[in-house]
Every structure is written in C-alpha cells, then in structure tokens.
Structure 1
Amino acid sequence: MEYVQLGKSDMRVSRIAFGCMSLGEEDTANEKILYRALDLGINFFDTADLYAKGMNEVSVGKAFKRYRDKVYIATKVGNQWRADGSGWDWNPRKEYILTEVEKSLQRLQIDYIDLYQLHGGTIDDNIDESIEAFELLKQQGKIRYYGISSIRPNVIREYIKRSNIVSVMMQYSLLDRRPEETCLSLLHENNIGVLARGAVAQGLLVNKPPKPYLNYTPQEVEKAAAAINALSRNQRNTAQTALRYVLHHPAITTAVAGIRTMQQLEEAVATFKTPLLTNQDITTLQHAVVANKYEQHR
C-alpha cells in the first residue's frame, strides 16, 4: 500500500480508502471485510450519518473500537432525515452540525472524528455559518480536520477562500472528467487533498452493461469501457486500470472505493502491484470519449 499526506493535515492516508456505504447490514460480515482491509494496509475509512440512517456508523464503530489508533475515520453531516423517514433535506446550519456531531461520535464510539465533512453544499448556503461550526468543533477537540463532499466548482472555490478545509471529496473517473477542467488544479495549488469516489463509474467501466451515464450515451460508455479493457490485458484487471487512471492525476490523494466483496478488496489493494499507466496510456484513454464539463454550478 502507498500512503500520502492528506492536504495540510498531518494524516498519512492509504491511497485506496474504504467507502463504507457499500457495507451490508450484518455487523459480523462487515467486521470481517473491514479487518481484512486493515490487514492489507487500508487505514482510511469513510462513512456518513446518512448511510443506513446511522447504522453504517454504528457498524464501523463496533469494528474499530479496538483499533482506534490504527485507523482514520471520516464521516459526513448535512442531510437531515425527515421524521416520517420518507427522505432527507439539506441542512448545513451551525446548530444542526453541532447537534449531529454528538450523535455520530456516539454511534462510532469514538472521542473525536479524524475528518468531518459537509455532505454536499450549495452557493446559497450560509457558508460562513457552516465553517464556524466546523472551526468550533476543532477547538473543542471533537474533530481533527474538516472538509466538504461536493462536485460544485462555485462551492469549492468559496470553501478554498474562506475555510481551513483539508479535503474535498468528489466524483472522478474516465466517464466523469469534469473535475479536470478547473477543480483538480485549483485544489492541488492550494494543498487541499482530493478524495476521489466513483472510479469505476457504477461498474460501467468494469463489467456492467452500457447505459446512459451523465451526458454520455450507451455507445460512448461502451467506448470508454473498451478503452479500459484494452489496457487491462495481462497486466491488470479493468477495475485496477480504472483506479490507476484516477490515481495518476497529481491532485488525487486517495481513491475511495465502494468495496462489497473480499475479491474486490484484494483486487483494489493489488492495484499497487500493477504497472503504472504511461502518459501514452492516459492519452489513449482520454481520446476514447470526449471529456465532459460542468454545465451548472460553475
């Protein structure tokens, strides 16, 4: 496993992170795969209060209660479940964040959160109020660092200007190159870590039948998957090639992989035993499909 510094923090995180949203409902099964991930060198685990209405945090907390000093735990806040359970509403208010952190700490059975992330964000939010909440939690020792999970360039720019975020989580893959336009370079210049999710584009770059994805047609999706496949023969599998593409960009700190099975886990970690993509490989992949760009929230 390779490790790198997460932005301006003092955390050296594994370049493959475990996206805990993919965990099931059975704690014993979750423990087994989480412990194996730890054995294989993964030290960064990402969850959210939204996942399974908090039970995802509970399961992660149970698993790592004995290994707190060996892992970095990241979670998220900002999506408030409705009383009737029918869905959730966006709530980035200071009061809400300060209330919800206590619940996350309790569910995770920890005294502090390594990375607390705002789970979304719009340009119409009271951004300074949200930042005040995170800064207060840092002062209180309830969180070590904070970041945001957002794909919106206008929101990301404001947090870079106004806050002390150490990371931004965003979707990034060969089928979603929107971050390449401006966000990745801007974050890299400001020493803010990028946590890339969705490297295999919902499996479309790996083994799922082609379908419309973002602004791409099924035919374009098929071309991208074919390009990934062509570079995967003998040296690596398609998932590893997709991960290599994401990790090739200098702005990317870690790829957050949604891991469901032991095989997926073993293969993801084994990515670092495969050859790096060459510059020619990257060019070949990028020529397979026209890069998309953000149409909104610019």
Structure 2
Amino acid sequence: MERRRLGRGGPLVSAMGLGCMGMSEFYGASDEAECVATIERALDLGITFLDTADMYGPYTNEQLVGRAVAHRREEVFLATKFGVVRTADPRERRIDSTPEHAKRACEASLRRLGVDHVDLYYLHRRDPDVPIEETVGAMAELVTEGKVRSLGLSEVGAETLRRACVTAPIAALQSEYSLFTRGLERHILPVAREFGVALVPYAPLGRGLLTGTMSSTDALDADDIRRRYPRFRADNLGTNLALVDRLRAKAAELGCTPAQLALAWVLAQGETVIPIPGVRRRRHLEENAGALTVPLSAEQVRSITDVLPEPAGDRAPDRSRLEQ
C-alpha cells in the first residue's frame, strides 16, 4: 500500500482511507456484520486510515469502528471528529466548538472507541462566534495530554485555516473534494499547501454519482440524505448523469471503472491528498482500492478535468455551516 504523509513532518498513512459514516446512518439501512467485515478487509488491503465522528449514528459509528478494530488497534490510524451536537430530532444539529466541549467530546469518543488515544482529532464544524484560536488551543492541550496525536479541521475557509495553523500544527483539512466539487482549489488548497496541511477529501465519488451506477434516485432508501441534495434532484440529475457518461467513456479507454478513475484523479492531485471514500460493502471497497493501480499522466489528468465541468446543483442542501 502506498503511503502518504499527513501534515508537515507528520505520520505516514495509507494513501487511501475508509470513511465509515454510512455504516451507521445517512445512506439507508446497512448490514452491521458486512460493515465490520469491510473494515477488516480494508485493514487486510493496507487501507488503515479509518474515519468516523461522534455525531455519526449518532454516537454508534464510533462504537462500531471500535469493535471492528479492537484486536488490530496497532494497525489502525484512527480519526474522529467533534463539534456537531445531535438532538432528539434526527435532522436538528447545533455546533459547539468551545474549548470545554472539545475536551468533553474527546473523552466521550475515547470511551466509545475503546482506545486510550485517537491518531487524528478533527473539529468537524466551527462555530463562527468561537475564535478558532481558542478551539485549536484546547485541541493542542489534548495532544500534550497524550489523548490525541495530530489535529485536523473540517470544512473551514482559507483565513480560518491560516489562523489555526499559526496557533498549533494542523495535520489535515477534511473537505468535500472530487471531480464534481473543486471549489477549494482557488483559495483554500493554496493555504493548506503553504502550511504543509494534508487534504483529506470526503465524498471523492460525488456521494455515489461518479461511480456510474446510479440512474435515478428511485432506488435510494426513503431516509437516504441524498434525496435532499440539489445534485440528486430530478431537474439536475439528468444533466449530471450525462457528465458521468463522459467519465465512463474515459474509464473505458483506460480499462478501469468510473469510480476508479474518479479516485485516481483525486489521488493525482498531489502527494498530500488522501481521499477517504465511504463504503459499506467489501466489493465496493475492493473496487475503490483498484484506483491505486490506475496511473494518470499530467496530460490525462488535464483531459479528465476538462471533460467534466461543474455539475448542476449545489453540493449541499444548506451551506450555512460550510466556510468555503
């Protein structure tokens, strides 16, 4: 397994990670036994960078991941997040990035995961009323205490990232990034590279659109969150699937699947880009891992970029908590 460095002078991790969110909610019903088997298969393949968060489930995803890695903890680079607080209403969220919550949330995550430390601890979403310096300062104290090894931020803008990096070493920025979502390239990615911050793209397959397997939203479960996303609405989906047809044609030329080509494109964006596609089944995990064997020249990367313009519809139903 190829390895890439997480942050300037930081640890080496598998070049591709595994997003575990969908194993517990958001994308409809899942088979927990198959999810655990998928995590185990990922470790067998050398995909050891696992990503979860306290709000997934809520709270149950960390427990699932903890059970799955309990006997293989030394193999795993374990990342979790805090900052999004769930309520009894499954759609309601509030943001708490106060120093006090950072420390409480970390203790709770350690208990659910069944570990004495996490390798990467992210601020999931930022409350703009709480100075980022205060939040990151508290996170840095968790590093001093040995409960956290490295720090990360998720979905922050360029100025927030810069201020955070001045406060304490930031190893990773997790943001949505794919052939269909490139908004961070202009302002945010240059700051990340200036400070040696690795980019950890979530949804690198466009929430499934770039796999080339979707023809309509009819097959999605009633509680699948994608039904609320603009790119999946009927008035946008046809346009976006036509773009995916272009990706499918490019993939056929190279002898790979659309998903593998989409991931290979992300991997080709730099040695500090480490995608974490989310899967719930071993067969999808194995297909994604095949992207690591799809070498792309600079010319091929440009041609793929050029053939896929901005898709129809925004990337999220609500951008109020996204800084970029």
TM-score of the alignment, normalized to the shorter chain, above 0.5: yes
The code of the aligned residue for 1:5 comes to: R
1:9-28 per-residue CA deviation (whole Å, 9 max, x = no partner) reads 54211111010112246553
CA distance 1:198–1:151, change in 2 (3 Å): farther
Q: Give yes or no for contact 1:185–1:251 (8 Å, CA) kept in 2.
A: no
Structure 1 counterpart SS, 2:210: coil
**Partner of residue 76 from structure 2, selected from 71, 79, 83:** 71
The code of the aligned residue for 1:208 comes to: M
The code of the aligned residue for 1:12 comes to: L
1:91 aligns with 2:96: yes
Q: Give yes or no for contact 2:34–2:282 (8 Å, CA) kept in 1.
A: no
CA distance in 2, matches of 1:278, 1:236: 15
**Partner of residue 246 from structure 1, selected from 266, 269, 274:** 266
Deviation at 1:230, TM superposition (A): 1.5
TM-score by length of 2: 0.83
Matched with 1:208 is 214
CA distance in 1, matches of 2:65, 2:270: 30
1:148-191 per-residue CA deviation (whole Å, 9 max, x = no partner) reads 11153343233233332111001111111112112222212221
CA distance in 2, matches of 1:84, 1:222: 33
Q: Give yes or no for contact 1:151–1:171 (8 Å, CA) kept in 2.
A: no
**Partner of residue 283 from structure 1, selected from 292, 299, 302:** 302
**Partner of residue 228 from structure 1, selected from 244, 247, 250:** 247
CA distance in 2, matches of 1:141, 1:158: 24
Deviation at 1:224, TM superposition (A): 2.9
Matched with 2:166 is 161
Cα RMSD between the aligned structures? 2.6
The code of the aligned residue for 1:285 comes to: I
Structure 1 counterpart SS, 2:141: helix
Structure 1 counterpart SS, 2:119: strand
Matched with 2:54 is 49
CA distance 1:67–1:224, change in 2 (3 Å): same
1:137 aligns with 2:142: yes
The code of the aligned residue for 1:277 comes to: L
Matched with 1:193 is 198
The code of the aligned residue for 2:198 comes to: G
**Partner of residue 126 from structure 2, selected from 121, 139, 143:** 121
* Structure 1 unmatched ranges of 5 or more: none
Deviation at 1:217, TM superposition (A): 4.3
Q: Give yes or no for contact 1:5–1:13 (8 Å, CA) kept in 2.
A: yes
Q: Give yes or no for contact 2:172–2:199 (8 Å, CA) kept in 1.
A: yes
CA distance in 2, matches of 1:122, 1:156: 14
Number of matched pairs = 297
Matched with 2:291 is 271
The code of the aligned residue for 2:214 comes to: K
Q: Give yes or no for contact 1:178–1:291 (8 Å, CA) kept in 2.
A: no
Identity across aligned pairs (percent)? 28
The code of the aligned residue for 2:245 comes to: A
Deviation at 1:278, TM superposition (A): 2.4
Deviation at 1:35, TM superposition (A): 0.9
CA distance 1:30–1:260, change in 2 (3 Å): closer
Which deviates the most, 51-60 or 205-214? 205-214
**Partner of residue 176 from structure 1, selected from 177, 181, 191:** 181
Which deviates the most, 23-32 or 183-192? 23-32
Q: Give yes or no for contact 2:126–2:156 (8 Å, CA) kept in 1.
A: no
Q: Give yes or no for contact 2:97–2:127 (8 Å, CA) kept in 1.
A: no
Matched with 1:15 is 15
Structure 1 counterpart SS, 2:267: helix
Structure 1 counterpart SS, 2:94: strand
1:17-65 per-residue CA deviation (whole Å, 9 max, x = no partner) reads 0101122465533321111110011111000000001111001111111
Q: Give yes or no for contact 1:150–1:156 (8 Å, CA) kept in 2.
A: no
Deviation at 1:291, TM superposition (A): 5.0
The code of the aligned residue for 1:213 comes to: R
Structure 2 counterpart SS, 1:145: strand
* Structure 2 unmatched ranges of 5 or more: 25-29, 218-229
Deviation at 1:272, TM superposition (A): 1.8
Q: Give yes or no for contact 1:19–1:47 (8 Å, CA) kept in 2.
A: yes
Matched with 1:110 is 115
Matched with 2:3 is 3
Q: Give yes or no for contact 2:161–2:191 (8 Å, CA) kept in 1.
A: no
The code of the aligned residue for 2:270 comes to: P
